[in-house]
Amino acid sequence: MAEPLDRTKLEELADGKVADILRAAASWAKDVPHALTPAIQAVCVRLAEMVADQRHYLAPLPEPQETERATVLTLTAERLRGASVTSNIQPLLQELADIELRATGSWSLVEGAQAQWIATAVQFLEGKAAALPSGERPDPYWADDVVAGIIASIRALIGIDELQARTEARYSGGHKRPMPEIES
């Protein structure tokens, strides 16, 4: 008989993931003008929320690990939507929501939707940088680098690595999908 889940432990894990996500946002914002920090935090929080919401599309683990993973990801996504995280960036999150792909479920499954969201995040950050005086703007392509770094950081912090993502893409939906050829 499996032991019941320790809800307090799982909540602490989710709180730790949220704290790590906020630290990652601060880290990605450290080399750009301070005025861009809230926009980077908004992109980081929104992406982390979407990645945490992928819990429905992951291959199941044996119990009790599956219940634990689903609970931690649910709690993480809920906390990322909470006022303690969003209060200072709510207008930016709304602005991002107004221009982004809203179907987070398809985001986790459809590669084109992921590419569209990445382009939207880059466009959002570039727009924020363009509003700065010309002498304070970051280097060209900084937004591409920041978004790519945020994606890698969030996937690692949430626990979704590229190998798992490729495996999920190949085997999800009850049928095996052929993997595209990878050139060496």
Q: Considering the domain boundaries, does residue 51 fall inside one?
A: yes
Name the nearest CA neighbour of 25 among 88, 102, 69.
88
Encoded tokens for 9: 């432990």
Domain count, the chain: 1
Q: Considering the domain boundaries, does residue 180 fall inside one?
A: no
d(CA 178, CA 183): 15
pTM recorded for the entire structure:
0.77
Q: Considering the domain boundaries, does residue 46 fall inside one?
A: yes
Domain that holds residue 78: 9-172
Per DSSP, 79 falls in state H
Predicted confidence at residue 96, as pLDDT, reads 85
pLDDT in tens, 7-45: 899 999 999 999 999 999 999 999 899 999 999 999 999
Q: Considering the domain boundaries, does residue 4 fall inside one?
A: no
What value does the mean pLDDT take over residues 146-152? Answer: 89
Q: Considering the domain boundaries, does residue 183 fall inside one?
A: no
Q: Considering the domain boundaries, does residue 178 fall inside one?
A: no
d(CA 153, CA 48): 9
pLDDT in tens, 69-111: 888 888 998 999 999 999 999 999 988 888 765 544 455 555 6
Q: Considering the domain boundaries, does residue 182 fall inside one?
A: no
